[in-house]
Structure 1
């Protein structure tokens, strides 16, 4: 579940506290293209007010209509499908023959929404097991590789950030990057052993680590859902982090700095730390897409855009010339 859906749960909890009846819908399967991924949620209040989405709007309209007509006075979770046939697929804006499957769940004390939110607001992950027979919920610790599972008796979903972002350095741009990254479903960790930078760190939800960067990266055990970005401009810190990061399975490793500085950095990493050319080729630098970014928040946007492309395996084309025909400025080289 991403942070967009976390906001939906907050709205749902507010309605529940007001004593309103609410139905929670969770996408469990899709066939063909779909506007929202499996695991996305929508909440519908008893008067038809809605939070979230599971389609382009047509399925939401149908759910609202059913709630207002009293057709969704469920006593237990129910599995429903939209778009089984071509006519219905057209009606609900799905590809011809496409299907979207939802579990509709009447929300009550047994749903344990406040407890779920308390865990998520700490930035942690948790597994939620919904019993289809009666709507009872069990909250369990997560495990590696948790995915949504729908069986004849239960719906199991895992909530909380599924991606990790380690930022080396607690400078000004790190504040922007950490704040924005949390909205994109990253658990954000900051490594900075320098007292003058660590004092006053105040980004809610982002955890500050005070160890040396190479130790922090090694202890983190980066995997294919981990990104590491070096932001200090200090070779004594950035190089230590990159030495460990480039030898790991992290899906993205980047460092701020101009092309000249990147070339010097690669030479140091090869000469002093023995990194191979294949490992050095994984280094994104200057970090971020080349979109003319100059200010810290603009560079943060450029970095997150490149991270998003890497997450989905998308190769960003080389930038076109801008303005009077000069080359586009490099993101990540001006701070």
Structure 2
């Protein structure tokens, strides 16, 4: 679940607790260039107030009207489709003839949504299954590999941080990078054994491990949804992390340092039990070249490169 949809969940829970009627619309299928991905949420309150988006603003006005006048009076979910014809697509502003299919729940269960919010807030991957006929839902443990499912019987959606960023080092650059990663919907783990950096790092939005990077990486388990960025500028710590990171299935591994230092680092890593192919996975110097000078600018360049790799976009090689 991304930060936008998490805010939708918080709003829905708050409104229901205040006694409002609330409908939740979920994007279950798209065709063409629909502006919001499958799984996106929109909460609509009985007075027309909304949280979130399912189309970037194209169909919301019509959906609010339908929810207020029709759907909130019902007890079971309804499938709503926009943009079936080119005329409708043009009417609702869906780009390139896009089509949007939504499951609208007029009676979401407060107790289930409260539990879902609590589990997500404690970094638990949680799968919610909604019975399309009755509107009843159940929660169970989810995984990062879960896929969205919607058929005639049920809708299954997994919530929680699907993508993780592990940052080695807790210095100023690391914290800027963590902030941008959090804003980009990554779960962020910071690893730093140094007392001078660990002191005072007390943030609820970060997971902090005060241990040796290689040991912690083995402990937390690295998967293909994990990016690892070494930012201590201390070869003893960064190299230890990289020796494990480059052997892992992490989709991105990067390290801070000049081109000259990066070349020396690669030569050192080859002296250990790493292959040339594994060493070549290293992105260094970390980040896209945008002329960044300050820590926040460098953090922007790091996130830009990580996101590009995440989506399979080719990034320039650094010689």
TM-score by length of 2: 0.93
1:14 aligns to 2:14 (yes or no): yes
Specify the alignment match of 1:306 in structure 2.
Answer: 305
- Matched-pair contact (CA < 8 Å) for 1:168–1:241: yes
Contact 1:123 1:205 in 2 (8 A): no
Q: Spell out the pairing of 1:96-107 with structure 2 (5 A cutoff).
A: 98-107=98-107
1:90-148, Cα deviation, whole Å (9 max, x unpaired): 22223565421111012444562111111111222111111222222211111352111
The CA distance in 2 between the partners of 1:227 and 1:317, in whole Å, is: 18
Inter-CA distance 232–71: structure 2 relative to 1 (3 Å threshold)? closer
Query: 1:51 corresponds to which residue?
Result: 51
Tell me the distance in 2 between the aligned counterparts of 1:79 and 1:92: 17
CA-CA distance at 1:70 after TM superposition: 4.4
Structure-2 separation of matches of 1:67 and 1:318: 51
- TM-score, normalised by the number of residues in structure 1: 0.89
Asked whether the 8 Å contact 1:4–1:183 carries over to 2, the reply is no
| Partners of 2:25 and 2:108 in 1: CA distance | 14
For 1:107 and 1:184, the matched residues in 2 are separated by 31
Q: CA RMSD in A?
A: 1.9
Residue equivalent to 2:31: 31
Q: Say which is worse superposed, 4-13 or 94-103, in terms of deviation.
A: 94-103
Larger deviation, residues 42-51 vs 218-227: 218-227
Which residue is equivalent to 1:288? 287
Q: How far is the alpha carbon of 1:210 from its aligned partner? A: 2.3
Name the residue aligned to 1:122.
122
Give ranges in structure 2 of 5+ residues lacking alignment.
Answer: none
Between the aligned partners of 2:305 and 2:242, the Cα distance in structure 1 is 18
Task: Find the aligned partners of 1:172 and 1:235 in 2 and give their Cα distance.
Answer: 18
Q: Distance in 1 between matches of 2:54 and 2:284?
A: 37
**Whole-angstrom CA distance in 2 between matches of 1:96 and 1:192:** 48
Gaps of 5+ in 1: 320-335
The aligned counterpart of 1:323 is: none
SS at match of 1:44: strand
User: Residue 244 of structure 1 aligns to a residue in which SS?
Assistant: helix
- Give structure 1 regions of 4+ aligned residues with deviation exceeding 6 angstroms: none
Instruction: Look up the match of 2:258.
Output: 258
- Rounded to whole Å, the distance in 2 between the matches of 1:144 and 1:61 is 34
C-alpha distance 318-145 of structure 1, shift in aligned 2 (>3 A): closer
